[in-house]
Structure 1
């Protein structure tokens, strides 16, 4: 693949992260467009890129690949406006970065001859993100683009995998659970620990390595073989003691029971049903 030349539309967290990441590899950012005024300090960091307001005009420089890094709600509208601006061109490539929408949301551009695809980074992106190394992109869309996007991911130091369009909402929901709900789980950890007067920062610092090692086990061993603890062991007395300690905080006890029942299914998948797991199921139900 020749050195990619891209244009980025939308300079929120995703667009800014891509701009920074592309500057560290062999990807030329020809132009960047944003609805609001772009900070001069950003422009100063990328003197070889053209920065414009709103959408590109017919005389403004454009790359071979247009990346829509706008919000999910804005993709369709921006695509339709672009389809009115751009002249029909079978060499035009337009990509969006949404985890939820398939490439079909760009069909107005497809009608103008463009190749379309989605290129979604499975990463919690913040204002500090400058790299996509060692993450995964899910990709789908026109076959002409998928091989190129796989190589683009490699240039970013990332991996990629192809998905069917109808799979994207399920994958994105999974990503929300993996990222956002991990934060919820950490909050639950601190709230339970606080019942024993353990400060939040102490609990998180002490238990984060346990969470990290569990994630490592899941990657190496798979979900089923990574389950440890009292439910995996069939230790009903320990589970009962936990439930008793949480009786004064019914909401936390309910959450413990709910998650415990899910863990019980994994334990039964791992070791089969037993009388001790039956006892635990009674306690959690």
Structure 2
């Protein structure tokens, strides 16, 4: 049986990574690649190792890996111009939007779905090398989900299904655990630089403690992994740090306070500090939010 043809609209970091993996594992034949410019499409094709610069005509399997904001317009345009049949499968890669945004294509006869790899794609080459074992969230029409399930299996991914109505909250979990983790550590580095430490040195100082915190989180769970002044109920330390941050950078101070409120919720559960001291800390933090 011949391989199915995969066309791609919006071959950015996610799309290029997945397409290259599927090409290397012979899961799909790579067809047309459509980006904003022919030059961008050519660059994507070079990375993928296959495909042609063209326009989407007849849809077999189509991956739309554009920005979330472009999905609706893309689906509407393709529903008007592409040749779609009952065997056509169309999916997008958004973590926060359900496959229902592709409904215009379903109305033309396609099966629709979404596939979200829970992974950082900061560097495509590294993402290709480390993809095996990556969890991928699937939802949508059963026919399309089955095609994607086989495609995920082919490249060593681990699949799970997600309630489409819960995708926004689900994806927020990834944002907290990836994007906000980066911005939080970046704020920590800025604090050390403000204290007179060279930025390169600040990276080296915080790398071990950030790494250990994550290791402890997944080894012991968040309640037991929490350490620091809030865990110990040290109201004065928290207040002093917050005042210093407010005088230097109010935005970082606000982030410190909002993150501190979440830490206080965990501290109430680990029992290392009295409930009264945690209540006092929450009052200090609330005054700055």
Distance 1:118 1:269, change over 3 A: same
SS in 1 for 2:75: helix
In the alignment, the residues of structure 2 paired with residue 171 and residue 114 of structure 1 have an alpha-carbon distance, to the nearest angstrom, of: 26
2:48 matches 1:24: no
Contact residue 96 and residue 103 of structure 1 kept, 8 A: yes
2:102 matches 1:102: no
Residues 15-54 of structure 1 deviation map (CA, whole Å, 9 limit, x = unaligned): 222222223323223303214214656545666x44133x
TM-score normalised by structure 1 residue count: 0.83
Aligned residues: 279
In the alignment, the residues of structure 2 paired with residue 75 and residue 254 of structure 1 have an alpha-carbon distance, to the nearest angstrom, of: 33
SS in 1 for 2:124: coil
In the alignment, the residues of structure 2 paired with residue 284 and residue 209 of structure 1 have an alpha-carbon distance, to the nearest angstrom, of: 27
* Residue 142 of structure 1: how far off its partner (Å): 0.9
Residue 74 of structure 1 corresponds to which residue in structure 2? 70
Distance 1:148 1:270, change over 3 A: farther
Contact residue 115 and residue 144 of structure 1 kept, 8 A: yes
Residues 185-231 of structure 1 deviation map (CA, whole Å, 9 limit, x = unaligned): 12210222123211222112221222122222223333222211222
Distance 1:214 1:134, change over 3 A: farther
In the alignment, the residues of structure 2 paired with residue 133 and residue 149 of structure 1 have an alpha-carbon distance, to the nearest angstrom, of: 16
* Residue 115 of structure 1: how far off its partner (Å): 0.9
> Which structure carries more helix by proportion?
2
Residue 172 of structure 1 corresponds to which residue in structure 2? 171
In the alignment, the residues of structure 1 paired with residue 76 and residue 215 of structure 2 have an alpha-carbon distance, to the nearest angstrom, of: 44
In the alignment, the residues of structure 1 paired with residue 14 and residue 91 of structure 2 have an alpha-carbon distance, to the nearest angstrom, of: 13
In the alignment, the residues of structure 1 paired with residue 285 and residue 56 of structure 2 have an alpha-carbon distance, to the nearest angstrom, of: 58
Structure 1 unmatched runs, 5+ = none
Distance 1:12 1:182, change over 3 A: same
2:33 matches 1:33: yes
Of 28-37 and 79-88, the range deviating more from structure 2: 79-88
SS in 2 for 1:31: strand
TM-score normalised by structure 2 residue count: 0.82
2:259 matches 1:259: yes
2:188 matches 1:192: no
Instruction: Give the alignment's Cα RMSD to 1 decimal.
Output: 2.9
Distance 1:277 1:175, change over 3 A: same
